[in-house]
Structure 1
Amino acid sequence: MHPLTLAYQSTAKIDRQNGRPYSAQFDDIYFNPEDGLAETRYVFIGGNQLESRWQSHPGKTFCVAETGFGSGLNFLATCLAWQQAQFKPASLCFISTELHPMSTEDLRQTHQLFPELQELSQLLLQQYPSARAGFHQLQITPDISLLLLIGDATACLQQLNGQVNAWFLDGFSPGNNPDLWSADLFEVIAGLSTDQTTLATYTAAGKVRRGLQAAGFAVTKKPGFGQKREMICARYDAAKQVRISNKQPWHPYPKSPAKEASVTILGGGIAGLNLARTFHRTGHHTTIIDAFNKPLQAASGNPAAMMMPVLTARTSPEALFYLRAFEYARRIYGACFINSGITEYAGSDRAGQRRLEQLAESGLPDELLRCSKNQLHYPTAGWVDTNALRQRWLTCVDDWQCHEITDIEGADGQWYLLANGRQVHHCTTLIIAGGMNSRKLSPQPLPLMARLGQTNHLITPQATSIDQVLLNQGYLIPLPGEPAGHHYLLGATFDHVDSESQYHHQPVCNSHQQRNLAHWQEHPEFAKLAQASSLADHTAIRATTPDHLPVCGPLIDHLRFTRDYADLHHGRHWQVYPPAQPLPGLYVLTGLGSRGYTSAPLLADYLHAMISGQPLPLEADLCKIIHPNRFNHRQLKKPS
């Protein structure tokens, strides 16, 4: 299944032979029955000379990629070797593909065969994802990440943005799994390799050797492990590489990682706090500059934030992105996420009923969506306790500065931040994450639109039976508090704001509460809700985009891009354009709309990977749809 299809792969069919897993689908063993761990250490860790290369690796991240995650044995063994290595880079990024992932229970049983891997196994199993096709980013330890790609290996790796330092080719044997060991796969592997990239595999089959040589690898045979006579080790020769050029390279990424281990973030909302979290984890010095003196104010300032996927009857880029973001956010928020479930009322009109019917027939798993008469239930959705999150993550901010930044200037590799003409800060890496303020601060035009939202913290005179989040255009979130069963967050409006008001705080309006209550007139508990009083009110301006997707990535030289792509509207598909040029050290994360708590964790880690020079944890086609330059590219494609 293609990684950009909203679908789920079938799990591995496992037989057990003396407790060891055996693939019924491919009629092959997962690892050497005599000593699987010793085989991994000999073939893959030794074949790529990882322990010695880690000592001399010039970069901050070392990237290993594998075809065939299987039982996870190679991954766990590499993690253990990494932890035991005295000298190594700052982080290990492990990427692995898998067509038919094992179930969590099959992994657990298999890992019990290797007592020395148990601690790492538990860290993996705690986060082990569903069989949803596509990318899954797992943070195993602060310095070890796993990017698990579920689906066809070639299709998944074609969606990868990054460079690989060492390859493990460990799919089932070429005779039993010929579709994997293809020329297309070897070409993709070559495209993700550099002049220092090595490769190792347990097989010495002629098809594999010739395929690697044709793709640009210098191949040598070495004695195999155990009873295997030979195995292959290889090194990539970049001089032989023939890259397929992108004729319209309008969505660039930084060519090299940031040199300084510090980052400045403009904005202390959920986007900014997530950025501080991920950069602090890797030892960066984090500075947040915000008009408020504490995080999670303005559009992030509600006591609870609803979090759910966005599911559509047909696969859409929007649905694919938000499903990945939702899965990731659940893991990142941990105990701050309350898995209450969400019930959405589909609506009795024709459009609502049609959507309900289509989703009921979509074949999505029950743990993601359950359909009943006039209702959609999301069992794994819920809400985020924002007060608990603030207390938990505030320690990730090394320096909090309270300024209202009015301008940004760049010179000599530095970004200078000004407040009413006075310079208050300068830095080499700057991320603009200031909601609507990002529009006026960005040197690249961003078509952000302002939407006014209001919520009310209600207390009812009588307890209600509502124990999960309800969604019916507006939402109702049951909150903890005394007396129990009386506290609810009612929200939220989503009104257009005129240009004069889009950067300013808006006053509370009683009509907003009445409009949000009106959504619940048919609910059995409406009489109790209608008698509620408001303990607190909150209004904020949200920043959204015309395509309802966030803006995340490097800002580019807009004037140069407009000049270079001025004739794009002529539609000359054969014409080659120069690459768009990123502004050095300047990034943006904004346009999150009403889904900021859902999308911010994945986007923050995506930006962290980009700035740190690591492979991006999101499919290339999804990276394009959130790139800041997409609006300029679309505008230039239109006829004059």
Structure 2
Amino acid sequence: MTHPLVPATLAFRGDGTPYSPRFDDIYHSASGALAQARHVFLGGNQLPQRWQGQRLFTILETGFGIGVNFLATWAAWRADPGRCERLAFVSVEKHPFAAADLGALHDKLVAGTTIAPLAAELVKAWPPLIGGIHRLSFEGGRVTLTIVFGDALEWLPKLWLRADAFYLDGFAPAKNPDMWAPSVFKSLARVAGTFATLATYTCAGDVRRGLEAAGFACEKAAGFAGKRDMLAGRFAPRWRVRRHEPPLPFSVVQRHAVVIGAGMAGCALVERLAARGWQVTLLDRNTRMASEASGNPAGVFHPLLSRDESVATRISRAGVLLALQSWRALEARGHDFARTDRGLLHLPADAHEARSLADAIDAYRYPDTFVRHVSSIEATDLAGVTLGRDGWFYPRGGSLDPASLCAALCAEAGTALDWRAGARVSRIEREGSAWSVLDESGHVLARAEVVVFANAHEAARIAGLRHAPTRIVRGQLTRLPIGTDLRVPLIGEGYAVPLPEGLLAGATYGIDDADSTSRELDDAENIARLAQLVPAWAEQLAALDTSALASRVAFRCVTSDRLPMIGPLADEALCAQHASALAGAWPLDLHRSPGLYGAFAFGSRGLVWSTLAAELVASQLEGEPWPIERELAEDLDPARYFLRALRRGSVQPS
């Protein structure tokens, strides 16, 4: 459950040191934040020496505060010619600053220093104050900040990563004892890498004893700025402290992956893998990218809200925020995919939906920059057409051209992408350490140690999964020669998206309907819903000749729980041989098919979920911190249906 955030208060002591009235403590020594970060946290963890020559180095921090430890680490990484290829910094903050306050703090602390440009980048990328995990990327993705807005006691057990170093930087133990609780130290031990180190400015006896009880060997070191001692340590457990080892990268001889499916899901994977140095072969049965549902003229994107913080709500919120960051980066590099920037309006279908949305917004206190209620007058002003009812406005929502986005994602991959059109994949075979991807005649289309299925309702069949039920949903869109005055996309019962030459309305929802021909009845259904959405257009819509309208049919893929399939695939045959032992298994207990991953069954939320799915799969492959909490990723695990069958005792060895 995501709880409403209580932001930090911007305050200073008389000497200009940032101060927390809530905890009655300072954010850093009066002798200097940067100097303290370099001495205590970089020096205490023997950085930059320890990251040199590494592909990935991961740091976990308790207490982000004003972000100086991150900025100092980022600056040290930039200045080090022997730096690791990728630096992953993860930090938890219960009371984050708003972006404007963070910028004001940095103006006082780092103005005129070489770190000032980095601080400006951080503030520009700073997420809205919404609880949960936010992934920020810098240096073309080589430096990531995974910032968690929430209570460390709640969130540290949910993170999944392998930490090489720990920065313990909460307020003083006497001021904020929760940050130094034994449960916190146990959470650190759960994700500590084999040679992990730690550092903290405090030398309190309770802290040292708590860390040692959790498996860390600690010793005193010279403190900073007149403080006699600090603690430095290393992970040295005297006994087994965890059931599962923290994640490692998938071991490959060659960093080459085959991605099957060239829609939104597949193209997002291409870009994310190429950004990490992978060569990618992209296969699709069609002659061009984005030929199926991703070829629709436009798609809408917006968060999903609910009173109960459902799984779909949580992944949609994380997905839309991550996607927006990715799209802004693409646009900054010159790509254009017709993304609208005026927001999106949600008009509830009835009083029940209106109450549900209002309750969700009230409960979690979403910032106005994320979603806000608008009166019928303001809604009309935003839309440019008379609407006659209240709604909710998503300033960050909108629409874009999915096919153009797919092209931009693949263009970013450059020479790392080998695109093969008209490749009709029929099955896969394991040969040694690699997988052969075969067509219907048995011809090898591609071969690699990693294969990712992003081909919607064909994925489970080709991957040989018996417990990954998916269904197709037929959707028909209708293009209308009206609505050129509409300023923002509208959603409700159906949706309306302004196009340069008119309006896109839709879409129908036909489960298990495989008919690809356009139907005049479906166009009439889209028009009827649009007339309810915008009554001011009713007369114009009634006068249209439905037989002359242009429409498009595409097929979505859904699961019975309407959640996507994202992550490593289970080795169902091997698991079945050990079915009785796995009757009480959890996802991490399952045997996985080495190198096989899925990113499919996105339904109508491909724009919102594809970036998050690609980032999650890439992080799993690379052994990087996951961009969402482990329990949420497990809700999306392609093996979740198989796991339920194991627990029911309905899996038999084949």
Q: TM-score, normalised by structure 1?
A: 0.91
1:9 aligns with 2:5: yes
Q: Counterpart of 2:11 in structure 1: which amino acid? A: D
Residue 283 of structure 2, aligned match among 269, 289, 294 = 289
Indicate if the aligned counterparts of 1:97 and 1:150 stay in contact, CA closer than 8 A: yes
Does the residue aligned with 2:225 lie in a helix, a strand or coil? Answer: coil
Instruction: Report the alpha carbon displacement of residue 127 of structure 1 after superposing the two structures with TM.
Output: 1.5
Does the residue aligned with 1:100 lie in a helix, a strand or coil? Answer: coil
Q: 1:218 to 1:355 in 2, by over 3 A?
A: closer
Aligned residue in 2 for 1:548: 562
1:588 aligns with 2:604: no
Q: 1:354 to 1:69 in 2, by over 3 A?
A: closer
Aligned residue in 2 for 1:636: 646
Q: 1:619 to 1:257 in 2, by over 3 A?
A: farther
Q: 1:489 to 1:469 in 2, by over 3 A?
A: same
Does the residue aligned with 2:226 lie in a helix, a strand or coil? Answer: coil
CA distance, structure 1, for counterparts of residue 555 and residue 358 of structure 2? 35
Indicate if the aligned counterparts of 1:264 and 1:286 stay in contact, CA closer than 8 A: yes
Residue 458 of structure 2, aligned match among 437, 442, 447 = 437
Indicate if the aligned counterparts of 1:70 and 1:101 stay in contact, CA closer than 8 A: yes
Instruction: Report the alpha carbon displacement of residue 90 of structure 1 after superposing the two structures with TM.
Output: 1.6
Does the residue aligned with 1:200 lie in a helix, a strand or coil? Answer: strand
CA distance, structure 1, for counterparts of residue 454 and residue 279 of structure 2? 17
Q: 1:309 to 1:259 in 2, by over 3 A?
A: farther
CA distance, structure 2, for counterparts of residue 48 and residue 532 of structure 1? 70
Indicate if the aligned counterparts of 2:2 and 2:364 stay in contact, CA closer than 8 A: no
CA distance, structure 2, for counterparts of residue 85 and residue 596 of structure 1? 39
Q: 1:576 to 1:515 in 2, by over 3 A?
A: closer
Indicate if the aligned counterparts of 2:438 and 2:446 stay in contact, CA closer than 8 A: yes
1:425 aligns with 2:446: yes
Indicate if the aligned counterparts of 1:44 and 1:201 stay in contact, CA closer than 8 A: yes
Instruction: Report the alpha carbon displacement of residue 376 of structure 1 after superposing the two structures with TM.
Output: 3.2
Does the residue aligned with 1:50 lie in a helix, a strand or coil? Answer: coil
CA distance, structure 1, for counterparts of residue 194 and residue 251 of structure 2? 18
1:133 aligns with 2:131: yes
Instruction: Report the alpha carbon displacement of residue 242 of structure 1 after superposing the two structures with TM.
Output: 2.1
Indicate if the aligned counterparts of 2:249 and 2:622 stay in contact, CA closer than 8 A: no
Indicate if the aligned counterparts of 2:128 and 2:369 stay in contact, CA closer than 8 A: no
1:107 aligns with 2:108: no
110-119 or 403-412, which moves further after superposition? Answer: 110-119
Q: 1:363 to 1:36 in 2, by over 3 A?
A: closer
Does the residue aligned with 1:326 lie in a helix, a strand or coil? Answer: helix
Q: 1:170 to 1:409 in 2, by over 3 A?
A: same
How many aligned residue pairs are there? Answer: 612
Q: Counterpart of 1:416 in structure 2: which amino acid? A: S
Aligned residue in 2 for 1:521: 531
Instruction: Report the alpha carbon displacement of residue 535 of structure 1 after superposing the two structures with TM.
Output: 7.0
Aligned pairs (5 A) from 1:285-324: 285-324=279-318
Aligned residue in 1 for 2:380: none
Q: Counterpart of 2:9 in structure 1: which amino acid? A: K
Q: 1:411 to 1:198 in 2, by over 3 A?
A: same
Q: Counterpart of 2:259 in structure 1: which amino acid? A: I
Unaligned residue ranges in structure 1 (runs of 5+): 247-251
Indicate if the aligned counterparts of 2:587 and 2:634 stay in contact, CA closer than 8 A: no
Q: 1:144 to 1:25 in 2, by over 3 A?
A: same
Aligned residue in 2 for 1:619: 629
CA distance, structure 2, for counterparts of residue 258 and residue 131 of structure 1? 39
Aligned residue in 2 for 1:562: 576
Aligned residue in 2 for 1:414: 434
1:600 aligns with 2:610: yes
Q: Counterpart of 1:355 in structure 2: which amino acid? A: S
Does the residue aligned with 2:196 lie in a helix, a strand or coil? Answer: strand
Aligned residue in 2 for 1:343: 345
Instruction: Report the alpha carbon displacement of residue 239 of structure 1 after superposing the two structures with TM.
Output: 4.0
Deviation string 1:156-194 (CA, Å, 9 cap, x unpaired) is 110111110000101111111111111111111111113
Aligned residue in 1 for 2:384: none
Aligned residue in 1 for 2:181: 182
Residue 508 of structure 2, aligned match among 493, 496, 500 = 493
Aligned pairs (5 A) from 1:339-378: 339-348=341-350, 351-352=352-353, 354-356=355-357, 358-359=359-360, 361-365=362-366, 366-371=368-373, 372=375, 375-378=391-394
Deviation string 1:312-352 (CA, Å, 9 cap, x unpaired) is 1222222112111111112112244323332233224x644
Does the residue aligned with 1:524 lie in a helix, a strand or coil? Answer: helix
Does the residue aligned with 1:154 lie in a helix, a strand or coil? Answer: helix
Indicate if the aligned counterparts of 1:219 and 1:234 stay in contact, CA closer than 8 A: yes
Aligned residue in 1 for 2:420: 401
Q: Counterpart of 2:345 in structure 1: which amino acid? A: T
Aligned residue in 2 for 1:204: 203
Deviation string 1:465-505 (CA, Å, 9 cap, x unpaired) is 421111232110012x2xxxx5111111110225xx4xxx7
CA distance, structure 2, for counterparts of residue 428 and residue 576 of structure 1? 26
Aligned pairs (5 A) from 1:234-313: 234-244=233-243, 256-313=250-307
Q: 1:42 to 1:261 in 2, by over 3 A?
A: same
Aligned pairs (5 A) from 1:470-485: 470-479=490-499, 481=500
Q: Counterpart of 2:58 in structure 1: which amino acid? A: C
Indicate if the aligned counterparts of 1:455 and 1:513 stay in contact, CA closer than 8 A: yes
CA distance, structure 1, for counterparts of residue 587 and residue 397 of structure 2? 44
Q: TM-score, normalised by structure 2?
A: 0.89
Does the residue aligned with 2:83 lie in a helix, a strand or coil? Answer: coil
Indicate if the aligned counterparts of 2:249 and 2:621 stay in contact, CA closer than 8 A: no
- Select the structure that is richer in helix: 2
Instruction: Report the alpha carbon displacement of residue 257 of structure 1 after superposing the two structures with TM.
Output: 4.4
Instruction: Report the alpha carbon displacement of residue 88 of structure 1 after superposing the two structures with TM.
Output: 2.5
Instruction: Report the alpha carbon displacement of residue 214 of structure 1 after superposing the two structures with TM.
Output: 1.0
Aligned pairs (5 A) from 1:220-239: 220-239=219-238
CA distance, structure 2, for counterparts of residue 38 and residue 585 of structure 1? 44
Indicate if the aligned counterparts of 2:402 and 2:607 stay in contact, CA closer than 8 A: no
Instruction: Report the alpha carbon displacement of residue 379 of structure 1 after superposing the two structures with TM.
Output: 2.9
CA distance, structure 1, for counterparts of residue 35 and residue 67 of structure 2? 14
Does the residue aligned with 2:123 lie in a helix, a strand or coil? Answer: helix
CA distance, structure 2, for counterparts of residue 497 and residue 518 of structure 1? 23
Indicate if the aligned counterparts of 2:62 and 2:167 stay in contact, CA closer than 8 A: yes
CA distance, structure 2, for counterparts of residue 576 and residue 275 of structure 1? 27
Does the residue aligned with 1:180 lie in a helix, a strand or coil? Answer: helix
Indicate if the aligned counterparts of 2:496 and 2:530 stay in contact, CA closer than 8 A: no
CA distance, structure 2, for counterparts of residue 530 and residue 351 of structure 1? 29
Deviation string 1:370-414 (CA, Å, 9 cap, x unpaired) is 345553333321112335424422322621012111111112111
Indicate if the aligned counterparts of 1:568 and 1:637 stay in contact, CA closer than 8 A: yes
Q: 1:253 to 1:179 in 2, by over 3 A?
A: closer
Q: Counterpart of 1:626 in structure 2: which amino acid? A: L
CA distance, structure 2, for counterparts of residue 238 and residue 528 of structure 1? 74
Aligned residue in 2 for 1:249: none
CA distance, structure 1, for counterparts of residue 586 and residue 176 of structure 2? 39
CA distance, structure 1, for counterparts of residue 58 and residue 587 of structure 2? 31
CA distance, structure 1, for counterparts of residue 409 and residue 157 of structure 2? 35
Indicate if the aligned counterparts of 1:464 and 1:525 stay in contact, CA closer than 8 A: no
1:454 aligns with 2:468: no
Aligned residue in 1 for 2:383: none
Does the residue aligned with 2:530 lie in a helix, a strand or coil? Answer: coil
CA distance, structure 2, for counterparts of residue 582 and residue 312 of structure 1? 33
Indicate if the aligned counterparts of 2:494 and 2:506 stay in contact, CA closer than 8 A: yes
Aligned residue in 2 for 1:124: 122
CA distance, structure 2, for counterparts of residue 52 and residue 268 of structure 1? 42
Indicate if the aligned counterparts of 1:253 and 1:554 stay in contact, CA closer than 8 A: no
Q: Counterpart of 1:228 in structure 2: which amino acid? A: K
CA distance, structure 2, for counterparts of residue 299 and residue 577 of structure 1? 31
